[in-house]
Each structure stands twice: as C-alpha cells, then as structure tokens.
Amino acid sequence: MTQPALLVYHGRSSADHGPTPTVFGFWLYLMTDCMLFASLFAVFAVMAHQFAGGASGRDLFDIPGVALETGALLLSSTTYGFAMLGAQRQGRGAVIGWLLVTFVLGALFLALELREFSHLVANGAGPSRSAFLSSFFTLVGTHGLHVTAGLVWMAVLVVHVVRSPELSGRDLTSLTCLSLFWHFLDIVWICVFSFVYLGSML
C-alpha cells in the first residue's frame, strides 16, 4: 500500500496527524443518527404497553426468526471487517469478495425483516392497529431504511473498486466511513433486539 493511502485509511494526514475532515464529519453525522434512534427508542418505551385491546409483542413476535435476522447482520459486520483488512493490504479482490458477502447478508436481513412486516400486516397487526405497533414499525422500519441505504452505498463502492486499477486514498476513506456506518447499524440492532423484541417477552 502506498503511504498516502495508508495514512488516509487510519484517518490521519501527514501534516497534522489528526482525523481527516471527511471521517471527522462522518462521526458528527453518526452522532445525529444516535439522537434520532434515541428519540425513537424513547417513544417506543412510552408506547410499549399501549396495545389498544390488541395483541402484544409476546403474541406477535417470532423470536427465532428475529434471532436469524440478528445473526445475519452481526455476521455481515465481521465480513465487512475482512473487507477492511483486504483494503489495508491493497487487495482489491479481497475487498470486492468480502463486500459482496456482506451485501448478501445485509440483503438477507432486509428480506427477513420485510417478511416479518408482511406477516404482521396480513394478521391485522399493522402500524395503525395500536400505538405500540406504530412505534414498533417506525423504529424497526427506520433501521431497515438505514440498512437499505448502506447496501446501496456498498453496491456503488463495489462497482467503483471493480473499475479502479487500485485502491486510492479516497476509496479507503469511503470504505472507512461505510465501515463506521455499518457497525453503527449493528449496535443499534442489538439494542432493538434486546429492548424491543426480548423486552416484549417479559
């Protein structure tokens, strides 16, 4: 790997050894996303027992199915880590391969989530049924939209890396920012799984 690319990958510049503006700015964006999800979690906490005479989470949620979703997303975080290791070594093939595996796992997560939503709506448990379900669909759906955006970003990066003869400093910065975003979504989902799904079983 060339020295400039290595410096960008670690979020450093040769001049001041501080975070690059792009990576630092992306951290600020993630902080705003933290506030967004914190607000949605707070709303769900208030609405968690407002069933309007309908079914509760204990009646509706399929924990084994959600556990499969969780496993797919957590595994995708690991495979993205392998893609970053490949990027550090300028291994374009490894980056492309691991990003594709990560994409498939992320797409599997979304497919399982959409199947869950479809099943709930088909059984009369749509977002308009109760305040509990409105807050549930809003929180989980917002996370799903973030995953969708991450997959689009990932697909664009794969196409770009395929067309590039080597990984540039800009490519490594983009991969680093997406890495931060993807791991952030994993952390949020762990909170969703624990607080929303498992918490509703109590």
**Mean pLDDT to the nearest integer, 69-94:** 96
**Mean pLDDT to the nearest integer, 28-39:** 96
User: Would 82 be classed as within a structural domain?
Assistant: yes
- Give me the pLDDT at residue 148, please: 98
Per-residue pLDDT tens digits for 100-129: 999 999 999 999 999 999 999 999 999 999
Instruction: Supply the range of the domain harboring residue 146.
Output: 3-46+60-200
User: Would 145 be classed as within a structural domain?
Assistant: yes
- Give me the pLDDT at residue 19, please: 57
User: Would 51 be classed as within a structural domain?
Assistant: no
User: Would 122 be classed as within a structural domain?
Assistant: yes
- pLDDT tops 50 at residue 9: no
Per-residue pLDDT tens digits for 146-181: 999 999 999 999 999 999 888 988 999 999 999 999
- Give me the pLDDT at residue 6, please: 38
Domain count, the chain: 1
User: Would 53 be classed as within a structural domain?
Assistant: no
User: Would 9 be classed as within a structural domain?
Assistant: yes
- pLDDT tops 90 at residue 17: no
CATH number reported for the structural domain that contains residue 77 in this entry: 1.20.120.80
- pLDDT tops 60 at residue 7: no
- pLDDT tops 80 at residue 42: yes
User: Would 55 be classed as within a structural domain?
Assistant: no
**Mean pLDDT to the nearest integer, 73-78:** 97
pLDDT category at 20 given cuts 50, 70, 90 is confident
- Which residue has better confidence, 202 or 45? 45
User: Would 54 be classed as within a structural domain?
Assistant: no
Q: What percent of the chain has pLDDT over 70?
A: 91
Cα–Cα distance for residue pair 17/135, rounded to 1 Å = 44
- Give me the pLDDT at residue 5, please: 40
